[in-house]
Structure formats: C-alpha cells, structure tokens
C-alpha cells in the first residue's frame, strides 16, 4: 500500500513538474522572439495540448498552415502581376523593333529607287 502511494505521489510530482515546465517554457517563448519564431517555423505544439485538447491544437496548426499558404498565394500573385507587366513591356519593345526595322527597309527602298 505504501509503495502504491509513493508511486502515485511520484507520478503526481512528475506531472506537476512537467506542467510547470510547460508554463515556464510558454512564458519564455512570449518574451524571447527568437524562440517564438523558431517554434512557429517548426509548427510545434504542446504535447499536453495535443493530448487533452486535440481539436484546438490541430485547429491551431491548420490555422497557421492556412496563414502560410495565404501569404505564399499573395506572393505568387504579386510575382504573376510583375510577370504580366514584363511580358507586356517585352511585347511593346518587340513591336517597336519591328516597326523600326520596317521603317529602315522603306528608307533603303526609297534610296535605291532615287539612285536609279
């Protein structure tokens, strides 16, 4: 009976220590931006949150992934707009070059006909 009590107390102390460590770790992440960004990049969650509140933790992870995807989509849209703009400029330059070459050909044709 005594051994069971000691085991229960030991497990209780370990769980309490883990919870306290989790709280300190959470507070450290709030104050240290390097740790916070590292955790956000890894998309890690708390083991206890995942164990006891899986819907909330999974929802949080999904939300973070959605934010990342939305940011990437915005970046892609900006790049596509820039690409379209550059393609339009390229098309205009090609047209100008073709017009310039056509004008040069006409000038050479006039020079040949006037020389004859």
Name the token pair of 56: 């909330």
Taking each helix axis as running N to C, give the angle between helix 33-42 and helix 2-31, from 0 to 180 degrees, rounded to the nearest 10. 110
- In this structure, the dihedral spanned by the alpha carbons of residues 6, 11, 12 and 13, taken in order and rounded to 10 degrees, is 90
One digit per residue, the tens of pLDDT, for the chain of length 116 reads 778 888 888 888 887 777 676 655 555 455 555 555 555 555 555 666 666 666 777 778 888 999 999 999 999 999 999 999 999 999 999 999 999 999 988 888 777 766 65
Q: Give the Cβ contact number of residue 60 at 10 Å.
A: 15
The Cα 46–Cα 26 span in angstroms is 9
pTM over 0.75: no
Judge whether 82 and 56 are in contact, CB under 8 Å: no
How is the chain split into domains, by residue range? 1-42, 56-116
The Cα 31–Cα 76 span in angstroms is 33
């Amino acid at each position: 009976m005594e051994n069971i009590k000691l085991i229960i107390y030991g497990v209780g102390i370990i769980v309490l220590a883990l919870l306290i460590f989790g709280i300190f770790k959470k507070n450290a992440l709030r104050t240290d931006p390097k740790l916070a960004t590292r955790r956000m990049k890894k998309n890690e969650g708390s083991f206890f949150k995942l164990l006891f509140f899986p819907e909330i933790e999974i929802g949080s992870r999904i939300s973070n992934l959605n934010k990342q995807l939305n940011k990437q989509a915005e970046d892609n849209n900006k790049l596509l707009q820039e690409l379209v703009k550059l393609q339009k400029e390229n098309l205009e330059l090609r047209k100008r070059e073709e017009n310039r070459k056509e004008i040069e050909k006409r000038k050479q044709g006039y020079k040949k006909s006037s020389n004859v």
